Structure 1
Amino acid sequence: MEEIQKKNKKPSNKYQPKGLTILYEDQDIIVVNKVSGLLTMASAREREKTAYFLLSQYVKKGSLKSKNRIFIVHRLDKDTSGVLVFAKTEKAKFFLQDEWQSFSKSYVAVVEGKMHEKEGIITSYLAENSIHRVFSVRNADKGKFAKTGYKVVKESERFSLLNIHLYTGRKNQIRVHFAEQGCPVAGDKVYGGKSMGIKRLALHSAKLTLRHPHTKKEMTFEANTPSYFKQLIK
């Protein structure tokens, strides 16, 4: 039976990481709601304004001598918000990564235009070029299989609100699949978003169901859809 887990204890405000809301924490995992604009991990240009750095500081509670650590399990794009999980032990990290493809991952997105089919599944093989741009290829030997399910929830003249189920977790998968359908995610300048005045990438990790690395119980974590998405679709 699916077990909906809430935050077990309110963290101290003193060490609360900015840009992250802690949804759940125990001795094995820490689950957060990440804001748009925050990196998951360090890049060549940014070391400290990342979820990883902020949570590392959080678990150390201000003690430089602390041996408490966090481990990256998966990533969200910088401009994607929503549910993000980290491990607090190496054993938990390896378990979650090994089982990752079997976990249920749901997203919400606002895309430009209207989908021809209001519900369906998009599949392709994704490859990455030298400038780190992802695209679909026909040759299975040259890309990684990617599968995205979707359902249109609401439409306006310019945009469509979608519920998305991620069967696989490839880099930029959702953004590429909908851009190649002629309906790029709103605010996605990399993959063809053209609408003016969009404040952020309209992509949100809304729900993640996983098996706990220690108890092996099924747990579901949710992050509410940003109100901005609803404003776009009006």
Structure 2
Amino acid sequence: MKQPFSIKEKIGPEHDGVLLRDYLLKEQQLSRRALKAIKFNEGFLYVNDEPKTVRYQLKAGDIVKIMFPPEGISPSLLPEPIPLNIIYEDEHALVINKPPDIPVIPSQKYSTGTIANGVLFHLEQQNLAYTVHTVNRLDRDTSGLLLIAKHRHAHDFFVKMQKEHHIHRRYLAVVHGTLDKDNDVIDAPIGRKEGSIIERCVRPDGKPARTHYKMIKTFSDFTLVAIRLETGRTHQIRVHFSHIGHPLLGDDLYGGSTDRIQRQALHSFELRFIHPFTHQEQCFHAMPPTDIRSLVGDINLQNL
């Protein structure tokens, strides 16, 4: 039988007399949606191995166990034994170094063969009653670090952290030409391009978008830049650099040439966050694939 996610904690004197509901909401930071799911969808609350309701008044020394309900899996998401380059894993999260040319989640065009299909297979091999919760997404042709929550409770934490800008990501891109400034911020609103369901563009009525960049290496007709996003709009990096006249190499959707590389030269090389359960800082780096390294040579990620 597949194992649902559970939490087990010993109650300290500071929570003596607190209602179980308040402890779960304030101390364990369960969302009200999660608490409702536990109450009504085959989840369980135990205190000292006895089932209790959320109205139970805690005592110091009590052992609280929260059994989350098994998570439903979309019928369109099928487990597949897809190789995953996992660089970090614990009971709450996965960090994957995604290669180019593979989508993160299924779509009408790519119903199978995605990272999500591979992650679901990986979870099933561990006999976990979990499903796939992507925290950040990368375009099909963008490579690099991808954060995936293994259960709904972790996903709630990560989504909140992302909204509060507590998950930090940096990218490497190879762009056409030489930029005017070594460091700058591209501040230009982004919206959907009229007549297209895929393309985005800079437009006055778009959503605010800010991209910080730093030049790392210059070459005869292209430049390697390190990028930090302040916002996370669809295709933000690609749109912003195209907007200032320096599209990414390989990005033919936004004006880049495919002479040297057959996909947008974009790689998520750094991911950093405070782990919501261990409260320890986590920082991961991933070297770009060979198609980018063949353009720019050796890169010391620690010095960027």
Instruction: Give the TM bin, normalised by the shorter chain.
Output: 0.7 to 0.9
CA distance in 1, matches of 2:116, 2:269: 20
Contact 2:252 2:258 in 1 (8 A): no
**Runs of 4+ in structure 1 over 6 Å off:** none
Give ranges in structure 2 of 5+ residues lacking alignment: 1-79, 298-304
- CA displacement, residues 146-205 of structure 1 (integer Å, 9 cap, x when unaligned): 111111111111211111111111110000110111111110011110242423321000
Aligned position for 2:131? 69
Equivalent residue runs for 1:1-234 within 5 Å: 17-18=82-83, 20-61=84-125, 67-100=129-162, 101-129=165-193, 130-138=196-204, 142-233=205-296
User: For residues 106-165 of structure 1, what are the alpha-carbon distances to aligned partners after superposition, in whole Å with 9 as ceiling and x for unaligned?
Assistant: 100111111111211111111113422111122xxx322111111111111121111111
Q: CA deviation at 1:217?
A: 2.4
**1:145 counterpart SS class:** coil
Matched residues in 2 for 1:82 and 1:92: separation? 21
Task: Decide which moves more: 191-200 or 147-156.
Answer: 191-200
Larger Rg: 2
1:105–1:167 Cα contact (<8 Å) kept: no
Q: CA deviation at 1:16?
A: 7.0
**RMSD over aligned Cα, in angstroms?**
1.8
Show structure 1 runs of 5+ residues with no match.
1-14
Alpha-carbon distance in structure 2 between the residues aligned to 1:172 and 1:191: 10
Q: What is the TM-score when the length of structure 2 is the normalising length?
A: 0.66
Structure-2 separation of matches of 1:49 and 1:195: 25
Give distance in 2, aligned partners of 1:200 and 1:173: 16
TM-score by length of 1: 0.85
Query: Which structure dedicates a bigger proportion of its chain to strand?
Result: 1
